[in-house]
Amino acid sequence: MNILDIGDFIKQSRIKNKLTINQLALYSDVSAAHISRIERGLRGASPDILKKLSKPLKVSYEELLKISGYLDAPFFEDNTSENIKKDIPTKFVTIFKELIKEKNVTQKDVAKYLRVSDRLVVYYENGQRTPPPDILEKIADYFNVSVDYLLGRTDIKEPIHNANNEKPPYDELSEEIHKLSPESQEELKKLIELYKIRDMQKRNTEADDDLTNTD
């Protein structure tokens, strides 16, 4: 199994143990909404979450880690859970999860903006992959934070251009554009080009009129 199967496995184990999502939430101290998103493949399950779920699901922690793909992740040198917990880049993982929750978006939304696979975003969220510099910058832009904040190097959330509480130009418009699908963004670019041509023609006409009036 791979990481994308963990939601189905948790759901099957829950049903096998005759537990509702609310009951599993109560016994594991994990919110029902979070469990529901994991089961539907909308959110990954961190090692901490898997540990909490293992007991009520009557499945070993190590088995859940294996099914989730943690034991095969390139971060880890061996198959011990201690190394897994130690080597995960916890600062980025924690901050990335919090930002997704604050913005109220799904992994699919983030993947669409970054133009990467859903699976890769799951890896980022679970600490199985570290985003390269260019992806880190895109993630920072998407959540309107600095890369240093993403990596836990600073508590200052805003990028440099927001340091003095100054909103960057067209910030709200840019955010709305980022929510569009790639196809819609391409159509918008074409429309913008048409508007630029129209404005240029208008300026040229006005310049010609000024010259005529001067003559």
One digit per residue, pLDDT tens: the chain, 215 residues?
344 478 888 999 999 999 999 999 999 998 998 899 888 877 777 788 888 999 999 998 888 877 776 654 443 333 334 444 444 467 888 899 899 999 899 888 898 888 888 888 888 888 777 787 778 888 988 998 888 888 887 888 877 554 444 444 445 566 666 667 777 777 887 888 787 788 777 776 765 555 455 45
pLDDT of residue 63: 84
130-169 burial, b for 16+ CB within 10 Å, e for fewer? ebeeebbebbbbbbbbbbebbbeeeeeebbeebeeeeeee
pLDDT of residue 151: 82
Smallest CA-to-CA distance from 81 within 41, 119, 54 is with 54
Determine the residue type at 153. Answer: R
Smallest CA-to-CA distance from 54 within 94, 17, 96 is with 17
